[in-house]
Amino acid sequence: MIMSTSLCLGACTQQGEKLEEKAPLIGRSEVKVVNGILAPEVLYSLARVSDAKLSPDGKKVLYGVTFISIEQNKGNRELFVVNPDGTGKQQITQTPKSEQNEVWIKDGGEIAFLSSESGSSQVWIMQADGTNRRQVSDYEGGINGFVLSPDETQILFISDIQYGKRTPDIYPDLPKASGRIIDDLMYKHWDEWVETIPHPFVASFDGKAIGAAIDILEGEPYECPMKPSSGIGDLAWSPDGKQIAYACRKKTGLEYAISTNSDIYLYDLASKTTRNLTDGMMGYDTAPQFSPDGKLIAWVSQERDGYESDKKRLFTEDLVTGEKQYLTTDFDYDIESIQWLPDSRSLYFIACKEALTHIWQIDLDKQIRQITSGQYDYIGMDAVAGQMVAVRQSQEYPTEVFAVNPETGEATEISFENKAIFDQLSVAKSVPRWIKTTDGKQMLTWIVYPPHFDPAKKYPALLYCQGGPQSTVSQFWSYRWNLQIMAANGYIVVAPNRRGLPGFGQEWLEQISGDYSGQNMKDLLAAIDEMAKEPYVDADHLGAVGASYGGYSVYWLAGNHQKRFKAFVAHAGIFNFEQQYLETEEMWFANWDLGGAYWDKTNAVAQKSFTNSPHRFIDKWDTPILVTAGELDYRVVAGQGMSAFNAAKLRGIPAEMLIYPNENHWIAQPQNGILYQRVFFNWLDKWLKN
């Protein structure tokens, strides 16, 4: 379908080449750390590093840094380049609007990126040093992401289109009516009413302008890429630029809400025909990547429909014969971020094993080797010309860029964006400890000790309850649930990899489904009970904290903890399963994890789940609780938290609630984040330090 709206036919905007003439709206702030403590204001002053990319010749590294202004209550992302040895670092953008989706072009001589500097998000180009910055698109509705063809003569981009009809479309005489007429699921998702969906378009590109756009889904009412977390990485060019692979779940309404069955499609630009490469593969199929020789395509595949936490497997397919190969048959862990090596015979990927996330390599003969090592999480990597760069974090240090030797795994930091702050901080130590569970298994638990820990003293302790529910407690760094700041406030943090978390094999992962109130709760209690035996833990001052599934865990423990804890904090947690089943949006999740609908009296798994809903144990609540929630959260609606708070107050239990009218499942705005940290520690200190 040819779109009537074309892109900019020329260089739409020119800007001066001297970046120093335009001061950044938000940039790096000078931070003075008091007494070496990671305070909330210090946490939100850290630079947030992301997306390291090597130039085509491997001589430069491009990455982004988001700087936060607490005063202005927002962030701004700027771009940097540095040599692979860490020398020659240069900030190449200084603008009031964030730069995103940056890519090297013209053999590393230029950089293309997205910016909303002119209003909507559009494609811009600049020299590799940041000069000669110019806008090259003016697409109505804006551009969400893009990737250029290998010869850089075409551009594949994402833009939103209208989904369904608005009320004024049905009743033109009521243009100001705000009511939404809804006749099917799924009408809301995470934090938005679904009135637009992303679509992929392709157009010609000559480095100065972008031509008329073709919707490669030909107007189909399907979301591509898939919300909420997929992006341009779910689309890829063939090496010859003649085909586009994309992942899409071609379903709408109720069918969409109950299914995770997406497929990998191959679109031929010449014939404008589409072929389904994964027909009959019933789970999520995502992240297609062509081999450099164009003969194979690799992608990430999950086996079962409706199970979003199923094992993420690596598959390849011969594009001539159609023969598929499951490469990670003997690898019992999820794979992410795949990238072909130049020989088209092997791939890099990232995987978490035993709560550590590293870079791996696999060849077509299924031989696997781990490249990196250590107590870290690698969350992204890029390899070019025998070189590799990666972004890495840990519970002790936020994300930075590292040069990695792909043969030895040796990693060397090259960005140092947060060194000035961390040189002033006393860092809390994170230590792994294997704890025996009630059924005789070994569970890896991270113990984070306060800075300057003294084993001769006694410390209050916090049981950290992970969300997900199937999301590893790895060496993550978070700006909301940060274990470092908890320890900095004088708490020993106990963070177990309870049943239901990936990184410990499928059996460990899958045990939780249909058993929310079972073994994983015993695992949580086993961890805190074991640590409470230590002479340096004040067993009379224990707390439990968590968000999402972790919030549910706190609500459940509140009625089933046998007086272990003296304080609770629950954010965005499920309090009433029956309420949640009919309020949430991704019904495949509720059906799989809870076992089905609560009205199905013949379903033993579902009945067990709903019988053990936290709200059914409110009569046993006896411990002070802080409840927090966002009113834009459509996954676990704020009413769940309000119900829990109201129940606690009606029972006469000390309770406090922090409610955000403008936050979703997470807390994204800086001042709201700092407010959260202050309320969080004020509450815990009140009940655990007095």
From the list 91, 157, 156, 151, the residue with the least C-alpha distance to 126 is 91
12: left (phi over 0), alpha (psi -120 to 50) or beta: alpha
Contact (CB, 8 A) for 237 and 247: no
Structure token digits, residue 101? 């989706």
From the list 407, 331, 345, 342, the residue with the least C-alpha distance to 372 is 407
Contact (CB, 8 A) for 218 and 128: no
Contact (CB, 8 A) for 28 and 47: yes
Contact (CB, 8 A) for 640 and 579: yes
Burial of 458 (0-12, 13-18, 19+ CB in 10 A): middle
Rounded to whole angstroms, what are the CA distances from 30 to 78, 399, 424, 603? 17, 19, 12, 59
Instruction: Give the contacts of 254 (CB within 8 A, at least 6 positions apart).
Output: 184, 185, 186
| Alpha-carbon torsion (643, 184, 273, 1), positive or negative | negative
Rounded to whole angstroms, what are the CA distances from 326 to 283, 303, 316, 342, 507? 14, 11, 7, 20, 20
The catalytic residues are: 548, 633, 665
Contact (CB, 8 A) for 350 and 357: yes
Query: How far apart are alpha carbons 393 and 688 in whole angstroms?
Result: 30
In this structure, how many other beta carbons lie within 10 angstroms of the beta carbon of residue 188?
18
In this structure, how many other beta carbons lie within 10 angstroms of the beta carbon of residue 77?
20
Structure token digits, residue 239? 């090496």
Residue 347 phi, psi dihedral angles, 5° rounding: -140, 150
Query: How far apart are alpha carbons 303 and 310 in whole angstroms?
Result: 7
From the list 335, 416, 431, 331, the residue with the least C-alpha distance to 375 is 431
Query: How far apart are alpha carbons 116 and 209 in whole angstroms?
Result: 17
Residue type, 360: W
Instruction: Give the contacts of 101 (CB within 8 A, at least 6 positions apart).
Output: 113, 114, 145, 146, 232
Q: Are strands 263-268 and 411-413 parallel, antiparallel or unpaired?
A: unpaired
Q: Are strands 263-268 and 188-189 parallel, antiparallel or unpaired?
A: unpaired
